[in-house]
Every structure is written in C-alpha cells, then in structure tokens.
Amino acid sequence: MQSELDLSPASIADDAIDHARRKSAIAARVDRVFAVMSRIIDLPDSRLQHYRQDFFTHDRAYLECTFASGTYGWIVRQSGTHLVQLGRHPKMHEELAAALDLTHDLD
C-alpha cells in the first residue's frame, strides 16, 4: 500500500498546528501532575528533607519524557524521591519494588 506525501503549504501548516496542540496538551498535563506532586512535598510535614532540587529537576523531566500519562509509583523519602512509570515494562515493577525495599530498610 502506498500513500502520497502531501507537502503543500496548507498540509505542512495543518501538521504543525496539530503537533503544537498535542505538545501543548502534554505540557499542560505535565504541569497539572507536577503541581499536585509539588503540593505534597511542600507540606510542612513532608518527608522530603534533603535533595529537594532533584525532585524539581529529575521527577519533572521524567514526567515530561513519559508524557505524564499512565500509572506511576512515587516514593517520597527524607533524602529524595523515586518516580517510576508502571505498566510499560515488567522491570519497572521490579524497580519500584527495589526502591520500596530500600526505603523500608532506611526507615
């Protein structure tokens, strides 16, 4: 099956608009999810006491690269957080289990 590639200015513009809309929707979803997570770690009794900047850098970047979609496991410890997207690969469940074991051992 062959399909014709439409490189007309109108088609290119339509594709660019569609791409921008998808990207904007993803960015908005990342912002919403990250805002909820931020409220949790900003609570006065939050467990996160050290390496807070890692949350803002690494957890945010992870949400962006996974489009903030699906189900996540998120661990908040005194010395950092651990965020894992579940359901993509069985090893991700193993990673979360290992992080939970480590957290249990440290507590």
- Res 106: pLDDT: 73
The angle at the Cα of 31, spanning 29 to 33, to the nearest 5 degrees, equals 70
Exposure letters 78-91 (e unless 16+ CB within 10 A, then b): eebbbbbbeeeeee
The parts of the chain modelled with pLDDT lower than 70 are: 1-3, 19, 107
Question: Distance of CA 79 to CAs 5, 41, 65, Å?
Answer: 52, 12, 23
- Res 57: pLDDT: 96
End-to-end CA distance of the chain: 59
Q: Structural domain boundaries of the chain?
A: 9-106
Alpha carbons 104 and 107: distance in angstroms, whole number: 5
- Res 23: pLDDT: 81
- Res 107: pLDDT: 61
* Whole-prediction pTM: 0.76
Interstrand relation of 80-86 and 71-77 (parallel, antiparallel or unpaired)? antiparallel
